Amino acid sequence: MIQIVENYERYVESLPELINNSYYKSEYFMHKLGLKHATYYRKLRLKIFTPSEVKLITGLLYPEELLMQGFQKSEEDIKAGRIIDISEFKEKLQAKYNL
């Protein structure tokens, strides 16, 4: 368990560099996190992002991994029989989005 915490701390420490080396501008991260300019840069400088912010930033930095994780979950759902018919899916979409 201690190793997990240490790895997380190292990862949070590396976030400013990872963000700086990404293809995105700081404004993109500010917008996605819903943070004001000063708050974002303070959190970045002090490395005090909340766990949910770290999770969101990680998804923005590594979208391929997020997509692969989704595919793996889908495959597990199919193998476990957690599937629905296309007509049932359409009904749920129509109900959700009032179509």
**Structural contact between residues 88 and 46, judged by C-beta atoms closer than 8 angstroms:** no
pTM for this predicted structure: 0.75
Q: What pLDDT, on a 0 to 100 scale, did the predictor assign at position 67?
A: 92
DSSP characters over the chain = -HHHHHHHHHHHHHHHHHHHTSSS-HHHHHHHHT--HHHHHHHHHHT---HHHHHHHHHHH-HHHHHHHHHHHHHHHHHTT----HHHHHHHHHHHHT-
How many alpha carbons fall within 13 Å on the CB side of residue 54? 13
pLDDT tens across 50-95, in order? 999 999 999 999 999 989 999 999 899 889 988 888 898 889 889 9
